[in-house]
Amino acid sequence: MLETAHSLIRDVGKKIGLTDWQIDRLIAINAEHQFEIKMDSGKSHKAYRVQHNNKLGLYKGGIRFHPDVDLEEVRALAMLMSFKAAAVGLPLGGGKGGVSVNPKMLTAEELEELSRKYVRHLQQHIGPDKDVPAPDVNTDPRIIDWMVHEYENLTGDTSRASFTGKSVEKGGSLGRDAATGRGGVIVLRELLDKLGKRGLITYGVQGFGNVGSFFGLVAEQEHQNWKMVAATDSSGGTYEPKGLSAQKLAAYKAGSGRLAEYPPDAKAISNEELISLEVDVLVLAALGGAVTAKNAKDVKAGIILELANGPVSEPAYKALNARGMLVVPDILANAGGVVVSHLEWLQNRASEQWSEARVNSQLEDYLVKATDEIYSRSTKAKMTLKEAAFAVAMDRLVKQ
């Protein structure tokens, strides 16, 4: 993933006339924190926080708990955050954190211990005006609430602006839970409109979880002509050409159901099969590296929406482009989360709680503007949408 990010930044940097020195500066990482979290059980886990660039504002980006987390991945994700914030015009820099752990193997007490210890290690490097982490893969408001509480205990800061993605009761923003999925719907809607596609749109969701389920729910509410025909989670999933109800799927999942078994009479489908479905839009909301050089040839969708971070590898992205498919880049498609994180931070700073309608309308403004700017850049400069998103971000990061 790091190689993919570097080579994209180098290519686009050259295209827009940046010098090697300027490109090196864009790639350079400001600070890296690596440590071991020693658990009371005797186990220990490698943990990271990478602060890539804070030219445009404080470092911002999630913390993931996943066995595959390593320094290289966190570096790439931190870099993507700087470009994401810049691409959509947020006054924020980029950072990312992670712990190499399988949280499903931990008890609730151990998860709390891990979360609090993570903050204890990082305490002096983060804070409301320095670096504000948020949820990412396998982290949620419950975990963020523990982290904020730990940070408050350690520093006396009661602004709650030290983290975003908190529960609403603990200072989180209304609309933050749905923000990444909702943002994906806004970006896709805007692009379909620009492409003149107004009829029936079929789509499949890989990763019907925190992000993918909200994409489905918001799409179902707002776009009668969009039809979800397949959805998967890590267990596999379900395929129904007549259309699936996102609401029913989400309720089934909330009851701890496995999508591979939904509903008893549905056609079971694997994650690999979902990627090769004949749909208009393939929504990739699971993990990085879902489409690679190996399976890119199987993709049949005309539009691939990167709702996860880095779900399409560089060779796959090139192969899809060559076949005339449109890859909607992660730094635009999934920016809704960090946009509403910014709104949460603003609310905490002002001791305010905005209505969901106010939050959603600001999210809408950010993403409509960003999609428009990136799309026009791509047509004017004859770039792909991904290149254009990085070009827009680079302009802001270099000018500053």
Which range of residues in 18-26, 54-62, 111-119, 145-153 is near ligand GLU by CB under 6 A? Answer: 54-62
Q: Is 164 in the site for ligand GLU (CB under 6 A)?
A: yes
Q: Which is nearer to ligand GLU, 61 or 184 (CB)?
A: 61
CB of 239 to ligand GLU, least distance (A): 28
Q: Is 99 in the site for ligand GLU (CB under 6 A)?
A: no
Q: Is 236 in the site for ligand GLU (CB under 6 A)?
A: no
State which of residues 115, 210, 309, 378 lies at the interface with ligand GLU (CB under 6 A). Answer: 309
State which of residues 148, 281, 333, 338 lies at the interface with ligand GLU (CB under 6 A). Answer: 338
State which of residues 33, 49, 52, 60 lies at the interface with ligand GLU (CB under 6 A). Answer: 60
Q: Is 61 in the site for ligand GLU (CB under 6 A)?
A: yes
CB of 60 to ligand GLU, least distance (A): 4
Q: Is 136 in the site for ligand GLU (CB under 6 A)?
A: yes
Q: Is 337 in the site for ligand GLU (CB under 6 A)?
A: yes
Q: Which is nearer to ligand GLU, 23 or 178 (CB)?
A: 178
Q: Is 347 in the site for ligand GLU (CB under 6 A)?
A: no
Q: Encode the chain in three state secondary structure.
A: CHHHHHHHHHHHHHHCCCCHHHHHHHHCCCEEEEEEEECCCCCEEEEEEEEEECCCCCEEEEEEECCCCCHHHHHHHHHHHHHHHHHCCCCCCEEEEEECCCHHHCCHHHHHHHHHHHHHHHHHHCECCCEEEEECCCCCHHHHHHHHHHHHHHHCCCCCCCCCCCCHHHCCCCCCCCHHHHHHHHHHHHHHHHCCCCCCEEEEEECCCCCHHHHHHHHHHHCCCEEEEEEEECCEEEECCCCCCHHHHHHHHHCCCCHHHCCCCCEEECHHHHHCCCCCEEEECCCCCCECCCCHHHCCCCEEEECCCCCECHHHHHHHHHCCCEEECHHHHCCHHHHHHHHHHHHHHCCCCCCHHHHHHHHHHHHHHHHHHHHHHHHHCCCCHHHHHHHHHHHHHHHC
Catalytic residue list contains 96: yes
Q: Is 134 in the site for ligand GLU (CB under 6 A)?
A: yes
Which range of residues in 46-54, 166-174, 337-345, 362-370 is near ligand GLU by CB under 6 A? Answer: 337-345
Q: Which of 60, 84, 96, 227 is catalytic?
A: 96
Catalytic residues: 96
Interface contacts to ligand GLU, rule CB under 6 A: 60-62, 134, 136, 164, 309, 334, 337-338, 341
